[in-house]
Amino acid sequence: MKILAIGDLVGENGVRKLKQELPRIREEHDIDFVIVNAENSAGGMGITSKIFEDLLDMNVDCITMGNHTWGKKDIFSFIDHPKLLRPANYSKGVVGKGLGIYECKGKKIAVINLIGRTDMNVLSENPFTVANDLVNSIAGDVDMIFIDFHAEATAEKIAMGIYLDGKITALYGTHTHVQTADEHILENGTAYISDIGMTGPRNSVIGMDPEASIKRFVTSLPERYKLAEGDCILNGCIFETNDENCRVVKINRVNMR
């Protein structure tokens, strides 16, 4: 089985890029299941009902979020949709869910969305203890477990991968918008990559207009970010699993520039 994870959609142009390329990727790589991180899809912050419907029309199987989950108020009208996940380690009682279980080709695939705590400026529960509790609660009931760890610090992501090694199928990072080249299978069989990158404007500073970004760094003065324009890249990762033991046997990065 082949599971495709798409890196952070940045803006409406990123959504259009996915719509344009996804059918070809599906056909060329024989993709069975698709997970998309969409927390930056609406103007760079949050998701709207229109974009959510667009993703459903693309037959995306699971949509994950992150630190901009609540960026658009629209989300409260569809937060309970079974295909939408927000970080599982948000405070208890928050609407939505961080775990989804889906069926594909006779297999049960669990997807967990987590958010990091290092340099994220989001008050959240401990992602390590939440992840451990969730994984233990579904062990034996699902065939595969994929985790989208939306985090800033590479060290936090690596630590989480080793912490869960052998307990989950794959852990991949999102949030930094820069694809890393460290994809590998950990000692006990879990697939890992620090960040799968972004799907958004190519000539940009992680999706944002370069001029505004550079001005902030040069002057140290506040400058409103705005989305960059122009051609888009598409980043993601394909995890190929063995149908017998549901372990990842191959990891292929997708980098369409």
Q: Active site includes 175?
A: no
Return the bridge partners of 112, or none. Answer: 99, 147
Sign of the alpha-carbon torsion through 129, 132, 136, 138: positive
Q: Are 5 and 193 in contact (CB under 8 A)?
A: no
Nearest to 37 by CA among 101, 74, 76, 83: 83
Q: Are 148 and 35 in contact (CB under 8 A)?
A: yes
Residue among 68, 150, 175, 177 flagged as catalytic: 68
Question: In whole angstroms, what is the distance from residue 246 CA to residue 224 CA?
Answer: 46
Question: In whole angstroms, what is the distance from residue 179 CA to residue 154 CA?
Answer: 12
The residues that are catalytic are 68
